[in-house]
């Protein structure tokens, strides 16, 4: 068999690079699912000939897998086992813990603060942005900053033990009626958090002890999930919908029948929509006579403001909505008619939003502020850095805060192929990479957490969890995490 000339050139280039000390050095910002899957795929294809440094602002890894995915979905977090196995493999390849050459985790290193983006560009051959979405979309209406309106990012972070959300203290022991604005899977997670029994459903999960104790004292009885569009446009998946419908101690009150029929009028339904409709019909009012807790769907309403409770000004009395109407063709638009829903607390769940890193503008890294994402083609960013460093992105910051962990698996695999193909062409110049970054961190007195540190924190969390038959009890304070490392 005769190989084409370009293949021979590539093979020779690979061999030469393998012999050279100038291995391609890649900096990955973030340690969520997309960062890990990208690392796994890259090192699978280049087992020896690559150096990856992963920078995470938190002392511990895994991003939203740890601080977003609901505590009663442990199977989703199984990806963390795969990530741990991967780092373990890398460490055993190099024998010396924390000295592994191909992969290194730098915990508690925030890019833009502890290390500047410009320093990554100077020291690495490629920079991969995998830093997820740090903000949440806003309703943009008066009263949104009232204490009776909480955004889901904070609420989710609170029950999942994110140290930056621990001062939330949601007043669940003072409210009966909660409205969730937005109807994606995160909204459905929150319905379960608010209504499922803390003792039988949550006690043995990795929900924090603080959140569990708050839920035990909760007086919430009714939850309304409200959205601007109709049932057919609901953002939640049928799997999540079915899960919450099957709780025997929660009643699904259904939806506004009249609006629903109007909405369906003349529409041809797809398989997913038919299934959603069947689920709703099958489960409406099944537990009406037995359940103390209720939830319902409410459609075709745009929130426009809130009324505050005069007895307790820290809470709400109601949310004011503008009704929406459907025309003959099924187009939805705002009407002039107002309506209101009684609620003492509102949780907004209208999507997370990516933000640019502080140096983007100065360096000229492109960012689409409207969609909250870095513009890219298959993860590649069109940005010419003066040091010749290539830029890539993956996960939520590349997709506009959309998709689940399976989406991260797929997009990270595509990105690894793109990076590998670019590396074949790239002239690998001598760049210090990790060596220089470690010096900078030391000079700046940054207390970096290593992978071994994370394993020690995790072991302590498992130990703490054993006391209350939980898989682990998350340490929710950065200083306490660091104290574990001092013990």
Ligand X SMILES: Cc1cc2nc3c(=O)[nH]c(=O)nc-3n(C[C@H](O)[C@H](O)[C@H](O)COP(=O)(O)OP(=O)(O)OC[C@H]3O[C@@H](n4cnc5c(N)ncnc54)[C@H](O)[C@@H]3O)c2cc1C
Please report, for the chain, how many H helices and E strands are present, in that order. Answer: 17, 16
Annotated binding residue 372: no
DSSP 8-state secondary structure symbol assigned to residue 389? -
Task: State the chain's maximal CA–CA distance in angstroms.
Answer: 85
- Going by C-alpha positions, the residue among 414, 441, 377, 397 that lies closest to residue 53 is 441
- Provide the 10 A C-beta neighbour count for residue 272: 11
258 labeled part of a ligand binding site: no
Closest separation between CB of residue 38 and ligand X, Å? Answer: 9
Any known ligand binding at 111?
Answer: yes
With CB under 6 A, what is the number of residues at the site for ligand X? 36
For residue 340, the minimal CB distance to ligand X (Å) is 28
Span of 18-26, 92-100, 106-114, 270-278 interacting with ligand X by CB under 6 A: 106-114
Residues 6+ apart with CB under 8 A from 435: none
Query: Binder to ligand X among 189, 298, 318, 344 (CB under 6 A)?
Result: 189
Shortest distance in whole angstroms from residue 185 CB to ligand X: 6
Residue 457 annotated as binding site: no
Phi first, then psi, for residue 84 (nearest 5°) are: -65, -40
Which of helix, strand or coil describes residue 151? strand
Question: Rule CB under 6 A: is residue 129 a binding residue for ligand X?
Answer: no
- Is 112 one of the annotated binding-site residues? no
Subset of residues 289 to 328 that bind ligand X, contact rule: CB under 6 A: none
Distances from the Cα of 215 to the Cα of 134, 161, 248, 293, 405, angstroms: 26, 14, 18, 13, 28
Site for ligand X in 342-371 (CB under 6 A): 352, 357
- In degrees and rounded to multiples of 5, residue 248 shows phi and psi of -75, -25
Confirm or reject binding of residue 481 to ligand X (CB under 6 A).
no
The residue among 183, 215, 399 whose CA lies nearest residue 299 is 183
Q: Which is nearer to ligand X, 110 or 275 (CB)?
A: 110
Residue with Cβ nearer ligand X (60 or 320): 60
| Stretch touching ligand X by CB under 6 A, among 27-35, 80-88, 221-229, 436-444 | 27-35
**12 CB neighbour count, 10 Å cutoff:** 10
β-partners of residue 108 are none
Take residue 33 and report the two structure tokens written for it.
């699912």
With binding defined as CB under 6 A, does residue 57 bind ligand X? yes
- Checking phi first, is residue 354 left (phi over 0); if not, alpha (psi -120 to 50) or beta? beta
| Listed residue (9, 21, 108) closest to 56, CA to CA | 108
Q: Is 405 in the site for ligand X (CB under 6 A)?
A: yes
Nearest to 212 by CA among 78, 346, 347, 71: 71
Closer residue to ligand X in complex, CB, 49/57? 57
Nearer CB in complex with ligand X: 227/398: 398
Q: Which is nearer to ligand X, 379 or 395 (CB)?
A: 395
The residue assigned the tokens 């459903």 is 201
Q: Was 164 annotated as part of a binding site?
A: no
* 235 sits near ligand X (criterion: CB under 6 A): no
64 annotated ligand-binding residue:
yes
Min separation Cβ 357 and ligand X, Å: 6
Tell me the closest approach of the beta carbon of residue 91 to ligand X, in angstroms: 21
Out of 46, 58, 102, 348, the only residue in the binding site for ligand X (CB under 6 A) is: 58
Minimal distance in Å, beta carbon 313 to ligand X? 30
Q: Which stretch binds ligand X (CB under 6 A): 49-57, 212-220, 361-369, 465-473?
A: 49-57
Q: How far is the CB of 94 from ligand X (least distance, A)?
A: 24
Helix axes 478-486, 451-466, angle to 10 degrees: 100
Q: Around Cβ 392, how many Cβ atoms within 10 Å? A: 25
| Residue 115 to residue 104: CA distance in whole angstroms | 15
Annotated binding residue 345: no
Q: Which spans of this chain sit near ligand X (rule: CB under 6 A)?
A: 29-35, 55-58, 63-65, 68-69, 73, 76, 110-112, 130-132, 134, 156, 186, 189, 352, 357, 395-396, 403-405, 408
Residues at the binding site for FAD are 34, 56, 64, 111, 396, 403-405
């Amino acid at each position: 068999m005769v190989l084409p000339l370009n293949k021979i050139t590539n093979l020779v280039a690979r061999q030469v690079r393998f012999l050279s000390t100038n291995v391609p050095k890649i900096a990955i910002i973030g340690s969520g699912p997309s960062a890990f899957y990208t690392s796994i795929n890259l090192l699978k294809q280049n087992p020896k000939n690559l150096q990856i440094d992963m920078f995470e602002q938190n002392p511990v890894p895994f991003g939203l897998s740890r601080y977003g995915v609901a505590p009663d979905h442990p199977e989703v977090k199984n990806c963390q086992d795969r990530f741990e196995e991967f780092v373990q493999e890398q460490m055993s390849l190099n024998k010396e813990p924390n000295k592994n050459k191909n992969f290194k985790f730098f915990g508690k290193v925030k890019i833009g603060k502890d290390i500047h983006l410009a320093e990554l560009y100077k020291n690495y051959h490629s920079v991969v942005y995998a830093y997820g979405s740090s903000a949440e979309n806003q309703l943009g209406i008066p009263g949104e900053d009232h204490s009776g309106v909480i955004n889901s990012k904070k609420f989710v972070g609170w029950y999942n033990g994110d140290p930056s959300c621990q001062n939330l203290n949601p007043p669940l022991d003072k409210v009966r009626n909660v409205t969730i604005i937005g109807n994606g899977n995160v909204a459905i997670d929150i319905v379960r958090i608010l209504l499922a029994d803390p003792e039988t459903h949550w006690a043995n999960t990795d929900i924090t002890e603080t959140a569990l104790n708050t839920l035990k004292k909760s007086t919430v009885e009714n939850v309304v999930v409200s959205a601007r569009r109709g049932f057919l446009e609901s953002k939640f998946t049928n799997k999540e919908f079915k899960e919450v419908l099957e709780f025997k101690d929660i009643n699904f009150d259904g939806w506004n029948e009249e609006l629903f029929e109007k909405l369906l009028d003349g529409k041809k339904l797809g398989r997913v929509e038919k299934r959603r409709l069947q689920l709703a019909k099958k489960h409406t009012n099944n537990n009406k006579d037995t359940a103390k807790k209720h939830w319902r769907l409410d459609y075709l309403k745009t929130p426009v403001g809130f009324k505050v409770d005069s007895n307790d000004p820290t809470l709400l009395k109601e949310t004011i909505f503008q009704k929406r109407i459907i025309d003959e063709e099924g187009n939805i638009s705002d009407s002039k008619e107002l309506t209101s829903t009684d609620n003492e607390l509102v949780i907004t769940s209208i999507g997370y939003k990516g933000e640019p890193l502080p140096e983007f503008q100065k360096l000229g890294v492109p960012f689409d502020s409207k969609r909250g994402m870095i513009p890219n083609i298959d993860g590649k960013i069109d940005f010419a850095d003066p040091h010749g460093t290539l830029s890539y992105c993956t996960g939520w910051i590349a997709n506009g805060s959309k998709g689940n962990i399976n989406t991260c698996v797929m997009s990270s695999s595509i990105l690894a192929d793109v990076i590998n193909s670019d590396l074949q062409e790239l002239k690998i110049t001598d760049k210090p990479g990790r060596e220089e970054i470690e010096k900078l961190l030391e000079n700046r007195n940054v207390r970096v957490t290593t992978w071994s540190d994370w394993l020690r924190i995790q072991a302590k969390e498992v130990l703490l969890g054993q006391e209350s038959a939980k898989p682990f009890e998350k340490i929710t304070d950065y200083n306490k995490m660091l104290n574990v490392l001092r013990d």
